[in-house]
Amino acid sequence: MTNGIRRSALCLFACAMLFPTAAGAASFQVTTTADSTTGSCAPGSCTLRQAVGAANTTGGINAILVPAGTYSLVNGELTLSRRVSIHGAGAGATRLVGNGLSRVLNVKGGVVAEVDGLSVEGGGVTGTSAAQAHGGGILNAGRLTLNGVVVSGNRVAPADNTGTIPEGGGIFNSGTLAIAGSTISGNEATTFPFGSGIPSGGGIANSNGEVTITNSAITGNTTLAEALPQGAGLNSTGSAPHEATVTLLRSRVEGNRAVDPSAGGVPYGGGIWAFRTDLTVEETAITGNTAKGGAVGEGAGIEFLREGDLVIERSLVAGNLAEGGVFANGGGLAVNGETTEEELIVNSTIAGNRATAPFGGSGGGIYHFGGTVLEVLSSTIAANTGSGNPSGSRGGNIYEGSGGSATLLRDSIVSGGAGSPGLENCFGANIKSAGHNIDGLDQCNFHAAGDRVNTNPLLGPLADNGGPTATMALSPSSPAIDAGDASCPPTDQRGVPRPQGAGCDIGAFELVPAKPPAPTPPPPPKGAELHLARKAKVDLRSGKGRLGASCPNAAAGHCKAALVLSSKGRRGKGGEKLGSVSGTIRGGRKGKLSVALSPRGLAALAAAPGHRLTVTLAGKSTNDAGEVVRIRATVLLQGKAHR
């Protein structure tokens, strides 16, 4: 045991004393980074594995305190079978490492567990059955809360070529999972070197469970296969009749990759893949994700399928890439609702996404099909691209497919798309308008009240304009300003209240009118100017206040001056007017304005020993031109005052 471990242990023990445990519960202090399978947790000698074992056999809400250090789990996963909280010294300090030999944590069904302030790293699971190939870092069937945790560098893979489906490189959840202030990064679900199979959830896989992610990041995770890799960042699957649930709040899903290089490879959902799932994305950025396949790449940002509700609100989907060896669909979103009850995008920006393939990329921003209505309200869909074939790249911004589906837009902007000629912005007869939309061209069937076609909305580049996610600002001369429907949402994507003008602005951005510039201060008075002398004086013995002044410009005539004496201090009546006087100073002359203090004024100026008292002499004059000149001086009295 190192001295560093001992010091951290003492600190954590002291901290633990601040959190009383429930009756019958215990607090276990880890004191060594060793991974012993024998012995018991005793004061001064306790491994992490021994502490977990002790918590599993002790009733109540137990706490395990884990000081800074690297805890290599050479003897397999840590199984949590009773309610427990595990507290580390910080994700960069307390590291639980699986060394590729096993997963790190296994939370059993019905168990409530809380983990904070540590990292879960290097877990590795291979197996010949689904259960064996789940959760490289964490396997949760209970109620698990992660707060300030980093889950990184974990992996799931098959042990042979029997078609095992590896899921959840970082985390596999079939219970209830809450993640806050955490990072899920650099994890992998793969079928290599065997190739076949459907790896899913490189970062997180959710199966019939409930996941809530707040103020967290899912970044740089991978699904890799020669079949159907899906959901590199997050994968969620529900079973009828009950949907799984996933909610993302104020989070990032960024730089995740679903990749299948084989000739028939079809990866789905570089960022998120959701099937029979109620998916809510709020104040979240889905950016820089990739779905790249030898045949088709689809839903680089989000792939949403079948039953369940989809709600994207005040969010950003940008810079995602769907790339295929034959076709590519949905650079930003691919949505096939079929029997979905609600598909809604509101106050969101979908920009700079790409779908590219030799035979054509469709729906660079949105690719929608499947018999449902996707509603797009007060949103901006711009600068998305379908490319790869001059005649087969359809709907740079929006592709609406067959099967009875429709995309209905209101108060939204569709502009700046790139695709086959005549299809740069939109493709599909079932793109419909509920009014007050702007089409930069005339391809989106916008012919309802308040619609504008062949109209440049004058959008700025995607940038940080305030709020939780980037937006495309409106130019002050944009035709979108005040042109929206009165039923717009109460705020824009950034949270700025709507409307800011005579009406709501079209799109995800509400322009706040610039405040008029402050008036230019008047030039210095011409003619007679009253100048303040360098020193002002208050004589408490004689009860007078004096302020020297001059009227140096003889040609201007004379200055009319007034003097007011007031006090402000820790003793007496702060801010009380103690006396005033007015007078005239002739041009080119100096003068003194004196005001006598009344007995009450003298009392108000009393300063107790050790206290300070500020006396302000403030004068105001008017020159011959009627211009006002103000003068001011301050005297600081300290110590015992004289009467």
Query: Which pLDDT belongs to residue 634?
Result: 59
Query: Cα 641 to the chain's mean position, in Å?
Result: 58
Give per-residue burial for 255-283: e unless 16+ CB within 10 Å, then b: bbbbbbeeeebbbbbbbbbbbbbbbbbbb
- Please return the burial class of 546, using the count of CB atoms within 10 Å of its CB with bins 0-12, 13-18 and 19+: buried
User: Which range, 21-30, 399-408, 628-637, has the best average confidence (pLDDT)?
Assistant: 399-408
Q: Is 634 exposed, middle or buried (0-12, 13-18, 19+ CB in 10 A)?
A: exposed
> What's the pLDDT score for residue 15?
35
Architecture of the domain whose range is 531-638: Sandwich (2.60)
Residue 613: pLDDT band with limits 50, 70, 90? low
Please give the pLDDT value at position 133.
85
Among 7-16, 54-63, 224-233, 536-545, the range with the most confident prediction by mean pLDDT is: 54-63
Dihedral sign of CA atoms 463, 464, 466, 471 in order: positive
pLDDT grade for 240, boundaries at 50, 70 and 90:
confident
Query: Looking at residues 36-42, what average pLDDT do you find?
Result: 90
At residue 126, what is the residue type? T
Cβ-based neighbours of 523, under 8 Å, separated by 6 or more: none
Q: Which of 78-87, 239-248, 371-380 has the highest mean pLDDT?
A: 78-87
pLDDT (mean) for 387-395: 86
Average pLDDT on 266-295 reads 95
* Average pLDDT over every residue of 595-620: 55
Peptide bond into 457 cis (omega under 30): no
Percent of the chain past pLDDT 70, that is, above it, reads 76
Give the mean pLDDT of 587-602: 62
Using an 8 Å Cβ cutoff, are 57 and 41 in contact? no
Confidence at 570, pLDDT banded by 50, 70, 90: very low
Least confident of 155-159, 371-375, 586-590: 586-590
16 pLDDT above the threshold of 90: no
Span 237-255, mean pLDDT? 93
In Å, how far from its chain's centre is CA 70?
30
Q: What is the pLDDT of residue 25?
A: 74
- Identify which has the larger pLDDT, 90 or 15: 90
- Name the strand (E) or helix (H) holding 600: helix 599-604
Q: Which candidate, 205, 189, 207, places its Cα nearest to that of 197?
A: 189
| Band of residue 516 on the pLDDT scale cut at 50, 70, 90 | confident
Average pLDDT, the chain: 84
Q: Alpha-carbon distance 626 to 633, whole Å?
A: 23
Query: What pLDDT, on the 0 to 100 scale, is given for residue 12?
Result: 39
- What is the tens place of the pLDDT at every residue in 427-462? 999 999 999 999 999 999 999 999 999 999 999 999
What pLDDT does 4 receive? 38
Label residue 302 exposed, middle or buried (CB < 10 Å: 0-12, 13-18, 19+). buried
261 closest CA partner among 206, 313, 306, 222: 222
Higher pLDDT, 577 or 400: 400
> Is a pLDDT exceeding 70 seen at residue 523?
no
Average pLDDT of 609-614?
53
Cα diameter, the chain: 107
pLDDT attached to residue 14: 32
Distance of CA 631 to the CA centre of its chain: 50
Average pLDDT for residues 343-354, to the nearest whole number? Answer: 97
Average pLDDT over residues 156-173: 86
Answer yes or no: are the C-beta atoms of 297 and 261 closer than 8 Å: no
Burial, 364: exposed, middle or buried (Cβ in 10 Å; 0-12, 13-18, 19+)? buried
Measure the CA–CA gap between 96 and 201, rounded to whole angstroms.
21
pLDDT at 7 over 90: no
The predicted pLDDT at position 547 comes to: 63
pLDDT at 22: 45
pLDDT value at residue 13: 33
Beta bridge partners of 310: 279, 343
Q: Where are the beta strands (DSSP E) in 394-521?
A: 398-400, 406-410, 413-415, 426-427, 431-433, 438-439, 452-453, 459-463, 471-474
Res. 630: pLDDT tops 90: no
How is the chain split into domains, by residue range?
338-512, 531-638
